[in-house]
Homo-oligomer: A and B are copies of this chain.
């Protein structure tokens, strides 16, 4: 059985944000055994799973990606939507548009240090939509 739901995130600042709690609240009751897919319906924001404890992991990861793909990279030609647009597209493809997370005993079955990051790559990202799919 497959069920779906679209959720809209609050606007987030540019950077990486731990949204495990927010997602769990939106999901409500989960099946005993199943799989969750989260799919971001945008091309300048992404999802990833990483360390849920020290906030500096998020700022270090974000800063590293900003140095790897700088807003002032001189070779981009797609620049009419702002200097942060083309880097956002590349970061989105390097990270993930969608995540799969197993559901076991009615809970997201991640490791104890794992959390869901929402990665907002634009300076002014507005509200982003995520399509939730649950298999059971």
Q: A residues within 8 Å of B by Cβ? A: 2-4, 33-35, 37, 39-43, 48-51, 54, 56-57, 59-61, 63-65, 67-69, 73, 75-78, 86, 89-90, 92-102, 104, 109-111, 113-114, 117, 129, 131, 133, 135-136
Please pick, from B2, B51, B100, the residue contacting A34 in the complex, using a CB distance under 8 A: B2
Residues of B contacting A94 in the complex (Cβ-Cβ under 8 angstroms): 94-95
Residues of B contacting A63 in the complex (Cβ-Cβ under 8 angstroms): 75
Residues of B contacting A129 in the complex (Cβ-Cβ under 8 angstroms): 111
**Could you show 28 A-B contacts with beta carbons less than 8 Å apart?**
A2-B33, A2-B136, A4-B33, A37-B100, A39-B109, A41-B114, A42-B113, A49-B92, A50-B93, A54-B78, A57-B78, A59-B77, A60-B76, A60-B86, A60-B89, A61-B90, A64-B69, A64-B75, A64-B76, A65-B90, A94-B94, A94-B95, A96-B96, A97-B99, A98-B99, A100-B100, A111-B129, A135-B135
Residues of B contacting A33 in the complex (Cβ-Cβ under 8 angstroms): 2-4
**Min CB gap A112→B, angstroms:** 8
Within the assembled complex, what's the spacing in Å between the Cα atoms of A49 and B67? 23
Within the assembled complex, what's the spacing in Å between the Cα atoms of A104 and B5? 10
